[in-house]
Structure 1
């Protein structure tokens, strides 16, 4: 049965978010999550939808690819994990610049799930690129106290002073961060944020020292942290670990079965903060770089 490729639209965004959520399963490798799409929507729906590709078979979504700075981040339906027909079509479209998925020069794919897809990429000469470290923590047991004074921004509660604080901490946590108040509102009004919360952690003096956004995929499914950072002027006090614990506790309250995060392997400080907060570090997984 033919597998078709299309570009996402405003009309298919809800369907795309729901599919990504339903594909989150305990024990599966970390793949693109509704939160990844939700966070990127801060850049504006038009830009993200233009780089969002949907593959269907018999009308049903079987794969989703999101362009993230010349890396296509893939999500696959669990029942096509070892499907050679789907893998063949995905690799053909990823390899052919005329398909519009990847540009003619450069380009990589993040394919952490999909046994057949990963094997075929290797067979066709795609080689290992940037390594990423997945980490996870089960949420079946109580989460330790994080010790922060926590303020929360959800879809129905967004005071402007908290939005500004969220943006300021993010910009002080990441070099060259592009988040603005306007972009935060773009993200918060998009469908994925209905199942998300931004958390701002304050120290005993009332200073905002860390922040994160957590994304639920629904009760009983893994939730995601994307992104998380400690203010550069307040590092070395354990606030990174504290906001990780706050994120885990919040996702537990939202019904998540576990909490996931994936960070560049070179971010050794970030990996250490997650491990210190009870996360289990999994083997590094590289992206696949298209052969020249």
Structure 2
């Protein structure tokens, strides 16, 4: 069957997209592709949050949203209800059709979990090849209190208090992810996202009052889970246990909100080994690998 589709129109559509992610997470648990925080981060950390979401297309079964596609750089992020898996082919075809006519030699990227055989087969049938690039989905149960955060003398953990902290919050982010495109305007926009909670925008404050490490936690109350995204540490304060401490504080706050699990993605690249050791030390376990599948661009943008 063909699913009717249309472009994104209004905030009502954004609410439908969020509801779809919550519904999928209820069915699939932590092994879902995207969490509420991912959606809000894509949109509100963009240069123009309104324009970013207007690139989205929605697919329906009657009046019920069952999938959407979000163009992302030279590829697509896409969501499909597991009971409406055939819509994935339609979303991919739409995304491939948006490739620029002068895109010859570039690659169009879509993502699939290593264990998701049906999606992997679909991508292979459309000419995609799995690359080595991947992310690791790390999951931790919150069935017991995490260890108390341990900090060096003079450091303390707190949450972002409002606009007065944003410049310092952006500074530590930019250093941790240098080179970074994060700006004060972008973080202020993130603070307006539906899932954002100031008490879950955590920082480690250094003795001089600057911010030394941070994590942003996104809480899915309906599914009693949380996601850490992003997580980082200033280069001048590394190897002090600060990032693990702020992760533990985030877990403690999630658990107080009723969450029973949390997730964090990490790069599968060799240079990301320190992050993998950090998450393992914080009690996360590798549960899945999310691979980039690439379709060689062809001039004319034909699928």
TM-score tier, shorter chain, comes to 0.7 to 0.9
Query: Corresponding residue for 2:300?
Result: none
Find out whether 1:279 has 2:281 as its counterpart: no
Q: Distance in 2 between matches of 1:141 and 1:37?
A: 28
Query: Corresponding residue for 1:264?
Result: 267
Q: Distance in 2 between matches of 1:176 and 1:252?
A: 33
Matches of residues 28-177 of structure 1 in structure 2 within 5 Å?
A: 29-40=31-42, 41-43=44-46, 44-80=48-84, 83=85, 85-95=86-96, 97=97, 100=98, 102-103=99-100, 105=103, 106-112=107-113, 115-129=117-131, 130-148=133-151, 149-153=156-160, 158-177=161-180
**Cα shift at 1:123:** 2.4
- Residues 68 and 261 (structure 1), Cα distance of their counterparts in 2 relative to 1, 3 Å cut: farther
TM-score by length of 2: 0.83
Q: Distance in 2 between matches of 1:89 and 1:196?
A: 40
**Cα shift at 1:204:** 5.5
Give 1 or 2 for the bigger CA radius of gyration: 2
**Cα shift at 1:198:** 1.0
**Cα shift at 1:146:** 1.5
Q: Distance in 2 between matches of 1:280 and 1:16?
A: 28
Q: Distance in 2 between matches of 1:255 and 1:109?
A: 34
Structure 2 residues not aligned, in runs of 5+:
298-303
Query: Equivalent residue of 1:9, what SS?
Result: coil
Q: Distance in 2 between matches of 1:50 and 1:75?
A: 16
Structure of higher RCO (CA pairs closer than 8 Å, 6+ residues apart): 2
Q: How many residues align?
A: 281
Q: Distance in 2 between matches of 1:255 and 1:187?
A: 23
Structure 1 residues not aligned, in runs of 5+:
none
Query: Corresponding residue for 1:10?
Result: 10
TM-score by length of 1: 0.86
**Cα shift at 1:211:** 0.7
Query: Equivalent residue of 2:195, what SS?
Result: helix
Q: List 4+ stretches of structure 1 deviating above 6 A.
A: none
- Residues 281 and 162 (structure 1), Cα distance of their counterparts in 2 relative to 1, 3 Å cut: same
**Cα shift at 1:141:** 1.4
Matches of residues 229-248 of structure 1 in structure 2 within 5 Å?
A: 229-248=232-251
Whether the aligned pair in 1 keeps the contact of 2:22 and 2:222 (CA below 8 Å) is: no
**Cα shift at 1:121:** 0.9
RMSD of equivalent CA atoms: 2.4
**Cα shift at 1:28:** 5.0
Q: Distance in 1 between matches of 2:22 and 2:197?
A: 12
